[in-house]
Amino acid sequence: MKIGELAEKTGVSVRSLRYYEQQGLLTPLRQVNGYREYSPLAEEQVRTIRFYLELGLSTEQIAGFLHCVLKNKEAFCEEVLPLYRSKLEEIDEQIRLLTNIRRNLEDRIASILLERDPGEEALP
Amino acid sequence: MKIGELAEKTGVSVRSLRYYEQQGLLTPLRQVNGYREYSPLAEEQVRTIRFYLELGLSTEQIAGFLHCVLKNKEAFCEEVLPLYRSKLEEIDEQIRLLTNIRRNLEDRIASILLERDPGEEALP
DNA sequence: CTAAACCCTGACACCGGTGTTAGAGTCAAG
DNA sequence: CTTGACTCTAACACCGGTGTCAGGGTTTAG
Contacts of A100 in chain B (CB under 8 A): none
Q: CA A104, CA A106: separation in Å to the nearest integer? A: 5
**Do B17 and B55 belong together in one domain?**
yes
Q: pLDDT band at residue B58, thresholds of 50, 70 and 90?
A: very high
Strand D atom within 7 Å of A13 CB: yes
Instruction: Answer yes or no: is pLDDT of B69 > 90.
Output: yes
Nearest alpha carbon to residue A49 among A30, A72, A35, A65: A65
Q: How confident is the model at residue A20 (pLDDT cuts 50, 70, 90)?
A: very high
Query: CB of A73 within 8 Å of any CB in chain B?
Result: yes
In a domain, B74, yes or no: no
d(CA A76, CA A99): 36
Residues A3 and A33 in one domain: yes
- Same-domain check for residues B92 and B51: no
What angle in degrees, to the nearest 10, is found between the helix axes of A3-10 and A41-54?
A: 50
B122 has pLDDT over 60: no
Q: What is the pLDDT of residue B111?
A: 94
pLDDT surpasses 80 at A120: no
Q: What is the CATH number for B34? A: 1.10.1660.10
The domain boundary residue, chosen from A37, A53, A73: A73
Number of domains in chain B: 2
Residue B48 lies in a domain: yes
Quick one: A39 and A100 in the same domain?
no
Is residue B1 a part of any domain in this protein?
Answer: yes
pLDDT at residue A119, as a whole number: 58
- How many Å from the CA of B94 to C1' of C13? 25
H-run or E-run covering A29: strand A29-30
Chain B contact present for A97, CB below 8 A: no
**Same domain membership, residue A64 and residue A14:** yes
**B73: in domain:** no
> What residues make up the domain containing B30?
1-59
Question: Is B65 within the bounds of a domain?
Answer: no
A42 and A68 fall within a common domain? yes
Q: What is the pLDDT of residues A63-115, one digit of tens each?
A: 999 999 999 999 999 999 999 999 999 999 999 999 999 999 999 999 999 99
Chain segment A38-74, per-residue pLDDT in tens: 999 999 999 999 999 999 999 999 999 999 999 999 9
Q: Tell me whether residue B52 is in a domain.
A: yes
A86 and A69 assigned to the same domain: no
**Chain A residues touching residue B88 (CB < 8 angstroms):** 102, 105-106, 109
Closest CA to A75 of B123, B104, B111: B111
Q: What is the pLDDT of residues B75-105, one digit of tens each?
A: 999 999 999 999 999 999 999 999 999 999 9
Asked if A2 and A40 sit in the same domain, the reply is: yes
Give chain B's mean pLDDT: 93
Check whether residue A65 and residue A83 sit in a common domain. Answer: no
d(CA A12, CA A25): 14
Q: Which of A73, A91, A115 is the last residue of a domain?
A: A73
Residues A65 and A102 in one domain: no
Regarding whether A69 and A90 lie in a shared domain, the answer is no
Shared domain for A30 and A65, answered yes or no, is yes
